[in-house]
Amino acid sequence: MGLLTQNNPPSIKVRLAFYMLIIPVLIFYVLAAVGCVTSSAGVPDIFNFVYRDTKISPKSPGKSSFELRTGYFGLCVGIAPQLACIPSLGVTPDQVIKEISLNVNAARSNTLSTPNVRRLLKIALDNQNKTVSYVLLAAGFFFLFGLLSLLILQITLRKAQPKPNAARKVNILKRLMLSFLWTSTALAFGASFATTQLAKILQRTSTSATSVVAESLVIEQGAGLEALQWLAAAFSFLFTTGVAWMFLDAGDRQHSMRKGNSGSDDVPEF
């Protein structure tokens, strides 16, 4: 007998515990996606990398320096905590300077127009395109498709009078749902691992003696966004594992209900 049978369904507390995992997964995905997109409170602090150039703003004890932060889909420029942020996918350094200059004072606008800032912007935008942002986005969409398939599967299982092809439909929906959820989990882990590895490469490059920009460029990874994406992957794995266990014998139970209990009200609930 499998873990899930007609006489041994998961308890309400177990089902609720697994379904509650949906909330943090969605929150983690949203926070990871909006990092550095706007200047709203807390959003500029969600970033993949921060870039500083001592030629633009020399290091000074106790004083913040000019920096550039990049998320998956946004970019922030300025001196913390006064950062101007914009969506940055597909933009050029000149477009960034033009967009941000509209929202800053004349002094800061002149700083943005210097060759060193343009060089820093080009490096940051090139690296942003390497942070597999589309992979994380795909992971989020596959997770949503998995939730939609789960909803349809639940509706199918709750039908009081199953049709002759109900078992086949349930099995198809179950496989489709799990395919979406496992693909989402794999992509989330892949994006997280790739971003972590890229951070190590960039940090080694910026401190290498043979690097052209090593004299003035400093690159650091943002711990907040890295944690968010790993948490999204981990909670997605827990949720998918729980759903796979809960629906382990869903098709068999529907088939049994159709053959031997067509008049019974004992319909499995999830």
pLDDT given at position 94: 80
pLDDT given at position 139: 93
| Residue 30 neighbours by CB distance under 10 Å | 12
Contact indicator for 31, 136 with CB cutoff of 8 Å: no
The CA distance from 76 to 120, in Å, is 12
The CA distance from 146 to 240, in Å, is 9
Phi, psi of 219 (to 5 degrees): -120, 130
pLDDT given at position 200: 78
pLDDT given at position 20: 93
Tens of each residue's pLDDT in the chain, 270 residues: 333 444 456 678 888 888 999 999 999 999 988 888 888 888 888 988 888 877 766 655 555 678 888 888 888 888 877 788 888 877 888 888 777 776 655 445 556 667 778 888 888 888 787 665 688 889 999 999 999 999 988 888 777 455 667 777 888 889 999 999 999 999 999 988 888 887 777 767 665 544 445 567 788 888 888 889 899 999 999 999 999 888 876 444 444 445 544 444 444 445
SS3 assignment, position 129: coil
User: DSSP string spanning 14-48?
Assistant: HHHHHHHTHHHHHHHHHHHHHTTTS-STTGGG--S
Q: What is the pTM of this model?
A: 0.75
Contact indicator for 100, 74 with CB cutoff of 8 Å: no
